[in-house]
Amino acid sequence: MAKALEGVKVLDMTHVQSGPSSTQLLAWLGADVIKLETPGRGDITRGQLRDLPEVDSLYFTMLNCNKRSITLNMKSPEGKEVFEKLVGDVDILVENFGPGVVERFGYPWEKLQELNDKLIYASIKGFGPGRYADFKAYEVIAQAMGGSMSTTGFEEGPPLATGAQIGDSGTGIHLVAAILAALYQRTNTGRGQRVQVAMQDAVLNLCRVKLRDQQRLTHGPLGEYPNEQFGDEVPRSGNASGGGQPGWAVRCAPGGPNDYIYVIIQPVGWAPLTELIGRPELADDPAWNTPEVRLSKLDKAFALIEEWTEKHTKWEVMDKLNAHNIPCGPILSTKEIIEDETLAELGTVVEVEHPERGAFKTVGNPLKLSDSVVEIQRPPLLGEHNDEVLGALGYSADRLAGLRAAGVI
């Protein structure tokens, strides 16, 4: 069966997480992704956070499946020659270097256009043009400057980073959307274009409901938040959903650090909830029976629910609540997720064989297409596909040997 992006070639000049997360999705969708790395070292994450000596780290392997790897010294004249041939042969070039790095190599967008007028040149930067443009950005910096940290945590505590990598992988997903849009537009125009996503912008896009609430504050306190006092900015509100359906994480047995379940109280779910927790009289009590009257005492409502959930495991609670169509979700630890049989059956978590480290588990493709089935393949060893990729560009075995001896590849 053909893949959605079969025939599309990608030159992947990305490193660490934001860029590789994006190009890995393109590879899963069927694109031929050629990862360009520095000879001898490669992507810095190959050696970061290693759990096994002299073996590519899980940081690298979990972000670079289904790709081919070549090495190239971009500072040498021969390396630039190879690079220009690669640019002329691909559909998409993706990079996430710091501001100005590709330009200093001698390849501004205008030069790349000359080499390939159909090229889609996609970049991830920390910030858009303006005051912050030349600043470096990392995951938590993007969270800090995109509205996430100021609104995450409990009111009495400090700003918190979220465990979800919304700055890096979140931006990578945004870039995939932009690349696919540019690829589609090219079918009509025949021209490539410049595509750029800023990490700050991506995080802010994911935090839009907090900007919604910032504007709602001008008309009074936010009733669905548990906070007692409001200033002139959206506060941290713990585990409150911040939406029209109030929710909270309540404790379950036996009381471990992740023995919690997140429960949402919908109007239609209030009566069955009261039955489950042994307080059926609250179903018709005018002090409790509407969302409006419950709004001012949500803390008390969830305390009543917690008195019941503390007597049951989160799995038991999940089954009981779902039997009444009450939205809920047990707090799953990373251990529970990686061992979850359902997630394995769905391909949400997959096991991949690696020639040096053996089997490891990673996330599967979250994008499900009926006519483009994804098979997760192992990530490449450093420079594993030099001969294969450059040979297809016309480099002979003798020429490749010369480039290798000169340290070009």
Q: What share of the chain is helix, strand, coil (3-state, %, to 5)?
A: 40, 15, 45
Task: Determine whether the annotation assigns residue 241 to a binding site.
Answer: no
Cα distance between residue 137 and residue 135, in whole Å: 6
Task: Determine whether the annotation assigns residue 145 to a binding site.
Answer: no
Task: Determine whether the annotation assigns residue 245 to a binding site.
Answer: yes
Cα distance between residue 10 and residue 174, in whole Å: 17
Cα distance between residue 235 and residue 112, in whole Å: 46
Eight-state DSSP code of residue 184: H
Task: Determine whether the annotation assigns residue 154 to a binding site.
Answer: no
Task: Determine whether the annotation assigns residue 377 to a binding site.
Answer: no
Task: Determine whether the annotation assigns residue 30 to a binding site.
Answer: no
Cα distance between residue 245 and residue 91, in whole Å: 45
Task: Determine whether the annotation assigns residue 74 to a binding site.
Answer: yes
In the three-class reduction of DSSP (H, G, I as helix; E, B as strand; rest coil), residue 196 is classed as: strand
Cα distance between residue 215 and residue 205, in whole Å: 16
Task: Determine whether the annotation assigns residue 75 to a binding site.
Answer: yes
DSSP string, 60-129: HHTT-TTEEEEE--TTSHHHHHHHHHHHHH-SEEEE-PSTTHHHHTT--HHHHHHH-TT-EEEEEESS-S
Task: Determine whether the annotation assigns residue 18 to a binding site.
Answer: yes
Task: Please name which of 182, 85, 169, 137 lies closest in space to residue 363, comparing C-alpha atoms.
Answer: 169
Question: What is the CA 286 to chain-centroid distance, rounded?
Answer: 45
Eight-state DSSP code of residue 253: B
* Cβ pair 126, 200 in contact under 8 A: yes
Task: Determine whether the annotation assigns residue 17 to a binding site.
Answer: yes
Task: Determine whether the annotation assigns residue 104 to a binding site.
Answer: yes
Catalytic residues: 168
Task: Determine whether the annotation assigns residue 137 to a binding site.
Answer: yes
In the three-class reduction of DSSP (H, G, I as helix; E, B as strand; rest coil), residue 139 is classed as: helix
Task: Determine whether the annotation assigns residue 237 to a binding site.
Answer: no
* Cβ pair 337, 38 in contact under 8 A: no
Tokens coding 133: 């443009």
Task: Determine whether the annotation assigns residue 243 to a binding site.
Answer: yes
DSSP string, 290-340: SHHHHGGGHHHHHHHHHHHHTTSBHHHHHHHHHTTT--EEE---HHHHHT-
Task: Determine whether the annotation assigns residue 69 to a binding site.
Answer: no
Task: Determine whether the annotation assigns residue 318 to a binding site.
Answer: no
Residues 6 or more apart in contact with residue 2 via CB below 8 angstroms: 30, 371, 372
Cα distance between residue 363 and residue 116, in whole Å: 34
Binding site listing for CoA:
17-18, 72-75, 96-98, 104, 136-139
Q: Mark the binding-site residues for substrate, compressed into ranges.
A: 243-245
Binding residues: 17-18, 72-75, 96-98, 104, 136-139, 243-245
